[in-house]
Amino acid sequence: MNHDTFMHAAIGLANDGLNAGRGGPFGCVVVRRGEIVGRGNNRVTSTNDPTAHAEVTAIRDACARLKTFQLTDCELYTSCEPCPMCLSAIYWARIPTVYYGNTRQDAAAIGFDDDFIYQQVPLPPEQRTIRMEPLLREEALGTFRRWAALENKVRY
């Protein structure tokens, strides 16, 4: 198996999902040591879950199969450059390498918000189109202090 094989698998999942009416035209596979260990395609509209992007569903599948929350020895192949949410999930999963087909500009050209969200992320909270206001910080910090004091916590 080579890079093209895995990218073809991701594109195939995008087409499968599109043909089945599950969601947008996106597919993804997670690969570990030359074997596909996670598969996903966009299921946003079929599950009424805005987080059910191809990369997220593939990461969830891989983590469940491998019984881990870190995929440090895996690669991710996706039919489109990951949106900010998916990119964040990739960072959280500690996946070191991503291969992608379409760009975020390609996604924007067919009506997806990826590029817009990328533009919003670096803005200060008060300049974003979504209103964001801090609230009850001191109370919330109590939980953070309890976490920091835990000796048996599982770091991630």
Where in the sequence numbering do the catalytic residues fall? Answer: 55
Tell me how many degrees the CA angle 106-112-116 measures, rounded to the nearest 5.
90
Say if CB 5 and CB 98 are below 8 A apart. Answer: no
C-alpha to C-alpha distances, 126 to 83, 84, 113, 121, 122, nearest whole angstrom: 22, 19, 20, 11, 11
Whole-number Cα distances in Å, 140 to 4, 136, 143, 147, 155? 47, 6, 6, 11, 20
* CA separation for the pair 152, 155 (Å, rounded): 9
Q: How far is CA 90 from the centre of its chain?
A: 6
